[in-house]
Amino acid sequence: MSGAPEDRASLTSRQIPEMLLSTRDNPLTAPRPPPENLNSSQRAQYRFQVKGNVVITGGAGTLGLEAARALLEHGASGLALWDLNPEQAFDSIKTLHLKFPDRRIMTEAVDVRNEAQIQTAIQSTVKVLGSINILCCFAGVVGVTPAIDMSASEWRRTHDINLMGSFLCAQAVARQIREQHTGGSIVFTASISAHHTNYPQPQCAYNSSKTALLSLAKSLAAEWSSYGIRVNTMSPGYMDTILNEGRGLTRARDMWNQRNPMGRMGDPWELTGPLVLLCSNAGRYINGTDIIVDGGAMVF
């Protein structure tokens, strides 16, 4: 059914919004080479220096905690661990406090699907740390359900947490960074599941949510460039964490190892190098890209 004439007229006369890219004279995106008076050791430290305060979603999980330690080791001045249940990692977070007594480390209970909770967490984080400069999104879920049997609620929950949750956190942090006029870095955790279909487990909802993150990061990298905000993704392969343990996974683990050129799963520590790259001075000209960290599984 065709619309009214006035509706058609409004379509032909409408003006669409246009994104504003950065320019070469924008100090937020200008190059920042090391000062000339640094020695070789200082230049090396400067290259991978992480400056400012970091928010990590899923911060009480194995990957989030490993990332937290690495970013603190490379100079992050403050850290906010957002998690649905931060108390589950009480001992690990206490250890971080002991290892980095001169840094500000806080936790916040956050459901990444809840805009109100995210906004409250932004306010609390800025109040304690003073600013937000880096966001690393590790909050996520995976389900192993055949597509033909999957309920609509399971599909929605997976996408709500993995995709919408990442967007809502990124949007809130980007607004804060824009207000600060500081620039910053956002890193989404995608997956090799965004690049190929897993085997043997069926997990179409997870795969599609992670594929969408790749596209989202590219869009945001363009839209937020004028604010000095870089947006990238990491795509881990199978990581040797508690989520991939148990006798019931022995057959699957054997398959994953056999299909990997390196013959094994990844150690969570092996994700921290690419993450530090994306968050540090070394990654200042990396924007809208994805780094696959999988031991070579994607060569097949």
- Return d(Cα 123, Cα 183) in angstroms, integer: 18
Cβ proximity of 50 and 75 under 8 Å = yes
pLDDT band at 75 (very low <50, low <70, confident <90, very high): very high
Which structural domains are found in the chain, ordered by start? 41-292 (3.40.50.720)
Per-residue model confidence as pLDDT tens digits over 261-296:
988 888 999 999 999 999 999 999 999 999 999 999
Q: Which amino acid is at 95?
A: T
What average pLDDT does the chain have?
93
Residues ≥6 apart with Cβ < 8 Å to 263: 257
| Active site residue ranges | 191, 206, 210
- Return d(Cα 184, Cα 133) in angstroms, integer: 5
Per-residue model confidence as pLDDT tens digits over 116-174:
999 999 999 999 999 999 999 999 999 899 999 999 999 999 999 999 999 999 999 99
pTM: 0.92
Number of C-beta neighbours around residue 281 at 10 A: 19
Q: Verify cis geometry, omega within 30 degrees of 0, for the bond prior to 200.
A: yes
Q: Which amino acid is at 260?
A: N
Number of C-beta neighbours around residue 239 at 10 A: 19
Cβ proximity of 104 and 77 under 8 Å = yes
H/E stretch holding 141 reads none
